Amino acid sequence: MLGATTGKVKIVLRLEGLCVLAASAFAYSKFGTSWATFFIWFLLPDISFLGYLAGSKVGAVTYNTAHSYIGAVACLAFSLASSSQLALVASLIWFAHIGFDRALGYGLKYSQGFGFTHLGPIGKAAKEV
């Protein structure tokens, strides 16, 4: 698949996701609230899957919006500028979720469908390659 990461670079990117997950969880242990809160909100970005009900192009946009570090960084910046504990907790959980997904190989999506990611094809798309 053109545009998909392969080989050792793919491994590095997945390890990078694992590092983001670990760093976020560590920061959450220092600055966050209860772990129950962490686990309750951890899967919130996956609501973006609903965009796929409107087609693969809309689904890719909604998924990528929720799974890009851009939103999490903006949320973290807001938390630091405003001293908002809620925004800090949200950003740390958001970073952890994205890192977790990337460590598992779930990359940002292409408009061809959910299985086509920047980290390579997944699911049915991987079987077709």
Establish if 47 belongs to a structural domain. Answer: yes
**With 80 as the cut, is the pLDDT of residue 2 above it?**
no
Give mean pLDDT, residues 64-86.
98
- pLDDT value of residue 1: 53
Range of the domain at 65: 7-128
Establish if 2 belongs to a structural domain. Answer: no
* Domains in the chain, number: 1
- pLDDT value of residue 3: 65
CA Rg value for the chain: 15
Establish if 1 belongs to a structural domain. Answer: no
Give mean pLDDT, residues 81-94.
98
Establish if 101 belongs to a structural domain. Answer: yes
**Residue 50 to residue 68: CA distance in whole angstroms:** 17
Report the SS3 class of residue 115: strand
